[in-house]
Amino acid sequence: MSFSLPEIVLHKEEQLYLLLDGGQIAQLERRLFEIADTPAYQPLYLYAPWESLREVSPCLVVATEPLLRWYAAEFQPNSGYLLASTLALLPFAERLRGWIEAQSPYGSRILLKPAQPEGMYRLFQDDDPRFWQDITQVWIPVREQLQPRSKLIWWHKTANLPATATKMPPLRENAPLRLSDAQWQRLGDVSWLNSLDTLYRHMEKWFPGRLAEQETPNQWITDWATWGYKQGFTSLRDLMFFSNVIGYIGTVWLDDGHCPDIVDLLMNASVLTPSQRIEKAAQLAEIQNKIGIEQ
C-alpha cells in the first residue's frame, strides 16, 4: 500500500524524523540498512529493562529522501509517523524514551507505544508539554472517521507551548508520565478502532454476503457494534458473537414476532451474564439460519 507524503515545510534548525514501529515493520533495523547505507537511527528500547524487546522497538530515524520514499511506497497504516525537532538524534531519542511507559489515571502502568500513530495522535491533540517538549511539528496518518476501513488523512500540528514549558526537566525513568482522564479516554478510541477492524475482518471472512448487502459496510459495522456494546456486550468476544447473530439472520429479529428467543437474549437482562446471553443468541441465530428464517 502506498500513501502520498504530506506537504512538509521545515523551519530553520528543524530536523525531520521518522518514528517507526518495529512491531509493525518486520526486521525494521535490517530494513533501514537495506534502504540506506548508513541510516542514522536510535531504537528506543535500547536500555534496561526494555532491551530484550529491541526486535520490536520503535526506532527514531533521521528522515532522508530514500527513507521517505520507502516509507511512502511501502506504507502501512500503523507503521509510524513524521515529526520535527531542533534536537539532534541522540538527545531527541533520549527524550522520547520517557514515553515508553505511562500511568493510567487509575495508577496502572502501561506501555505507551510511542510510534503508534492513532494513539499518539490522541495524545498530541492538546498542548501537553510532556509530549510536545522538544518537538516542533508532527505529521500523523490517522483515520478520517472512527470506523473500520476509514480513509486515511494526514493530521499536522505545530507546537504551541509557552516559553516556560521548554525548560521542563527530562522525564524520570522511575516516574512514568501520568495520563489525564481526557487522554486516557481518547486512547480508548484506539482500542475501539482495533475491535471494529477485527469485527470487519470477521464479517468479511464468515459472512461476506451479509457485508456485501450493505451500502456502507464500515458504517454498518460501527453502528451495530455500538448498539451491541450499549446492550452490555462489551468484550471483543461478545461483539464477535453479536456479529454472528446479524451475520446469520440480519436484523430480522427487530421485526415484531420474529425470533422472540433471540430478541429476549439480546435485549433483556436475566440470570445469565451478557456474555452468556450473546453466546446463546449466536447459537440460536445459527439454527434459525439453517432452517431458513432470514432477512
Domain annotation covers residue 5: no
Structural domain for 54, as ranges: 15-180
For residues 58 and 174, membership in a common domain is answered with: yes
For residues 87 and 164, membership in a common domain is answered with: yes
For residues 124 and 246, membership in a common domain is answered with: no
For residues 67 and 144, membership in a common domain is answered with: yes
Number of independent structural domains in the chain:
2
The whole-number pLDDT of residue 175 equals 66
Let me know: does 124 contact 157? Beta carbons within 8 Å: yes
Give CA 136 to chain center in angstroms: 23
pLDDT in tens, 5-44: 999 999 999 999 999 999 999 999 999 999 999 999 999 9
Domain annotation covers residue 3: no
The whole-number pLDDT of residue 3 equals 87
The whole-number pLDDT of residue 251 equals 86
Domain annotation covers residue 238: yes
The whole-number pLDDT of residue 8 equals 97
The whole-number pLDDT of residue 79 equals 94
For residues 241 and 146, membership in a common domain is answered with: no
Final residue of a structural domain among 132, 164, 180: 180
Domain annotation covers residue 295: no
Domain annotation covers residue 9: no
For residues 50 and 149, membership in a common domain is answered with: yes
For residues 41 and 76, membership in a common domain is answered with: yes
Neighbours of 42 (CB within 10 A): 19
The whole-number pLDDT of residue 294 equals 47
The whole-number pLDDT of residue 236 equals 98
The whole-number pLDDT of residue 174 equals 52
The whole-number pLDDT of residue 164 equals 52
For residues 20 and 82, membership in a common domain is answered with: yes
The whole-number pLDDT of residue 172 equals 47
For residues 49 and 86, membership in a common domain is answered with: yes
For residues 220 and 173, membership in a common domain is answered with: no
For residues 176 and 213, membership in a common domain is answered with: no
Low-confidence stretches of the chain (pLDDT beneath 50)? 172, 294-295
